Amino acid sequence: MYLKIKALPENVGFIRNVIAAFCVSADPSIEILNDIKTAVSEAVTNAVVHGYKRTEGDVSVDAELIDTKLYIKISDSGAGIENVEKAMEDFFTTDVEEERSGLGFTIMRTYMDTLRVESKIGAGTTVLMTKELLHVDR
């Protein structure tokens, strides 16, 4: 699935729901679906507020289901991140005035199975995440 949409706060919920609908065929639990929705919201919100700093731009979302595993890629062509390793640290934020907590990447890492971030200053940022959708009772 490929979706390209304007990077606006009001589109965050739409993208989150599209991804959830995309996953439904794999029959995930509500809990897993909520984890994915939370992580996707964080990534898209970052594109809106940090990538484009609330100016115009597009966010694109690539999603693929291979067996019962979700592969998702969220990209913007915005500002980019100077130091990805630092940006991914818990509580790191460049947005102190807006009182952000710097926990977006922490949330993505916690709720998904894998998280990878690729970024280039002036070119944009891509967030790659995977999640096994099959729920196994222990």
Ligand X SMILES: Nc1ncnc2c1ncn2[C@@H]1O[C@H](COP(=O)(O)OP(=O)(O)OP(=O)(O)O)[C@@H](O)[C@H]1O
The catalytic residue positions are 42, 46, 100
**What's the rounded Cα separation, in Å, for the pair 130 and 45?**
18
Q: How far apart are CA 64 and CA 71, in angstroms?
A: 5
Residue (of 9, 71, 70) closest to 45 by Cα position: 9
Nearest of 84, 107, 93, 95 to residue 34 by alpha carbon: 107
Q: Applying CB under 6 A, which part among 22-30, 40-48, 61-69, 128-136 lies near ligand X?
A: 40-48
From 13-21, 27-35, 63-71, 97-105, span contacting ligand X (CB under 6 A): 97-105
Provide, rounded to whole angstroms, the least separation between the CB of residue 57 and ligand X.
Answer: 10
Residue ranges in contact with Mg ion by CB under 5 A: 46, 104
Residue ranges in contact with ligand X by CB under 6 A: 42, 46-47, 50-51, 76, 78-81, 87, 92-95, 100-105, 125
